[in-house]
Amino acid sequence: AMAAIRQKNSYYGAFYRRIATRRGKQRALVAVMHKLTVAIWHVLHDRTGHKDLGADYHTRKNPQRAMRRMIREANALGLTIRFDPA
Protein backbone atom coordinates (compact mmCIF):
# COMPACT_ATOMS: atom_id res chain seq x y z
CA ALA A 1 0.00 0.00 0.00
CA MET A 2 2.87 2.39 0.75
CA ALA A 3 4.32 1.87 -2.72
CA ALA A 4 0.89 2.34 -4.32
CA ILE A 5 0.20 5.68 -2.61
CA ARG A 6 3.57 7.13 -3.57
CA GLN A 7 2.73 6.95 -7.26
CA LYS A 8 1.43 10.33 -8.41
CA ASN A 9 -0.62 9.21 -11.41
CA SER A 10 -2.25 6.12 -9.96
CA TYR A 11 -5.77 5.56 -8.74
CA TYR A 12 -4.56 4.42 -5.33
CA GLY A 13 -2.39 7.51 -4.83
CA ALA A 14 -5.29 9.81 -5.70
CA PHE A 15 -7.65 7.79 -3.50
CA TYR A 16 -5.20 8.05 -0.59
CA ARG A 17 -4.91 11.83 -0.97
CA ARG A 18 -8.70 12.23 -1.14
CA ILE A 19 -9.28 10.19 2.02
CA ALA A 20 -6.26 11.55 3.94
CA THR A 21 -7.53 15.13 3.72
CA ARG A 22 -10.80 14.15 5.40
CA ARG A 23 -9.98 11.22 7.66
CA GLY A 24 -6.24 11.31 8.33
CA LYS A 25 -3.22 9.49 7.01
CA GLN A 26 -3.56 6.24 8.96
CA ARG A 27 -7.21 5.70 8.06
CA ALA A 28 -6.46 6.53 4.45
CA LEU A 29 -3.64 3.98 4.40
CA VAL A 30 -5.96 1.30 5.80
CA ALA A 31 -8.57 2.24 3.18
CA VAL A 32 -5.98 1.80 0.41
CA MET A 33 -4.95 -1.55 1.90
CA HIS A 34 -8.59 -2.63 1.80
CA LYS A 35 -8.97 -1.48 -1.83
CA LEU A 36 -5.83 -3.39 -2.80
CA THR A 37 -7.04 -6.51 -1.00
CA VAL A 38 -10.36 -6.39 -2.84
CA ALA A 39 -8.58 -5.80 -6.16
CA ILE A 40 -6.23 -8.73 -5.55
CA TRP A 41 -9.19 -10.96 -4.69
CA HIS A 42 -10.92 -10.03 -7.95
CA VAL A 43 -7.76 -10.64 -9.97
CA LEU A 44 -7.32 -14.09 -8.42
CA HIS A 45 -10.99 -15.04 -8.45
CA ASP A 46 -11.84 -13.87 -11.97
CA ARG A 47 -8.38 -14.64 -13.41
CA THR A 48 -8.15 -11.23 -15.06
CA GLY A 49 -5.44 -8.61 -15.22
CA HIS A 50 -5.39 -5.51 -13.06
CA LYS A 51 -6.01 -2.20 -14.81
CA ASP A 52 -5.25 1.02 -12.96
CA LEU A 53 -8.15 3.48 -13.32
CA GLY A 54 -5.90 6.55 -13.26
CA ALA A 55 -5.60 9.52 -10.94
CA ASP A 56 -8.34 11.45 -12.75
CA TYR A 57 -10.92 8.64 -12.51
CA HIS A 58 -13.29 10.53 -10.21
CA THR A 59 -13.03 13.71 -12.29
CA ARG A 60 -13.91 11.81 -15.46
CA LYS A 61 -16.69 9.93 -13.68
CA ASN A 62 -18.47 13.04 -12.40
CA PRO A 63 -17.22 16.26 -14.05
CA GLN A 64 -19.98 18.43 -12.54
CA ARG A 65 -18.85 17.51 -9.05
CA ALA A 66 -15.26 18.43 -9.93
CA MET A 67 -16.49 21.75 -11.31
CA ARG A 68 -18.41 22.52 -8.09
CA ARG A 69 -15.33 21.66 -6.03
CA MET A 70 -13.14 24.00 -8.09
CA ILE A 71 -15.66 26.83 -7.74
CA ARG A 72 -15.91 26.27 -3.98
CA GLU A 73 -12.12 26.31 -3.59
CA ALA A 74 -11.82 29.50 -5.67
CA ASN A 75 -14.56 31.20 -3.63
CA ALA A 76 -12.73 30.26 -0.43
CA LEU A 77 -9.69 32.11 -1.82
CA GLY A 78 -11.83 35.16 -2.62
CA LEU A 79 -11.89 34.62 -6.38
CA THR A 80 -14.84 34.66 -8.75
CA ILE A 81 -14.81 32.18 -11.61
CA ARG A 82 -16.95 32.13 -14.74
CA PHE A 83 -16.92 29.12 -17.01
CA ASP A 84 -17.85 29.50 -20.67
CA PRO A 85 -18.59 26.44 -22.80
CA ALA A 86 -15.84 25.59 -25.25
pLDDT tens readout for residues 55-69: 898 888 888 888 888
Contact call for residues 58 and 18 (beta carbons, < 8 A): yes
In tens, the pLDDT along 21-70 reads 999 999 999 999 999 999 999 999 999 999 989 989 888 888 888 888 88
The Cα-based distances of 79 to 2, 68, 71 in angstroms read 36, 14, 9
With 0.85 as the threshold, say if the pTM is over it.
Answer: no
Distance between CA 77 and CA 37 in Å, rounded? 39
